[in-house]
Amino acid sequence: SQKIEQNSEALNIQEGKTATLTCNYTNYSPAYLQWYRQDPGRGPVFLLLIRENEKEKRKERLKVTFDTTLKQSLFHITASQPADSATYLCALVMDTGRRALTFGSGTRLQVQP
């Protein structure tokens, strides 16, 4: 069966360090993969999309990589700040008929001051 997994349920890092979150998927070759941020009590918010022909995508302090051979995406936050503390979700379309996203269960990032 098709699965999307985020390896770490929680990640604690010190302010100023780089946070690296992992997303793995199986049995599928998506055209693109997305990352979302979710704060407690709120809906997810779109951050970045990376296409299968892109190795890397950047937005301010965020960087996403996409390795279609390893079936893995890495999400990096450089110079992390306490305000970056949130749950980060990866998502991709696993059923092109539905055009709906399948989400990983998320990694809860805590940045300590």
Partner 1 sequence: TAGITQAPTSQILAAGRSMTLRCTQDMRHNAMYWYRQDLGLGLRLIHYSNTAGTTGKGEVPDGYSVSRANTDDFPLTLASAVPSQTSVYFCASSSGDTDTQYFGPGTRLTVL
User: Is residue 30 near partner 1 by the rule CB under 8 A?
Assistant: no
User: Is residue 104 near partner 1 by the rule CB under 8 A?
Assistant: yes
Beta-ladder partners of 92: 102
Q: What is the token pair recorded at 80?
A: 């992390």
User: Is residue 101 near partner 1 by the rule CB under 8 A?
Assistant: yes
Phi, psi of 42 (to 5 degrees): -130, 165
User: Is residue 113 near partner 1 by the rule CB under 8 A?
Assistant: no
Instruction: Choose, by CB under 8 A, the member of 11, 13, 74, 93 that binds partner 1.
Output: 93
Closest CA to 80 of 10, 18, 1, 8: 18
Q: Where along the sequence are the contacts to partner 1 (CB under 8 A)? A: 32, 34, 36, 41-46, 49, 89, 91, 93, 97-106
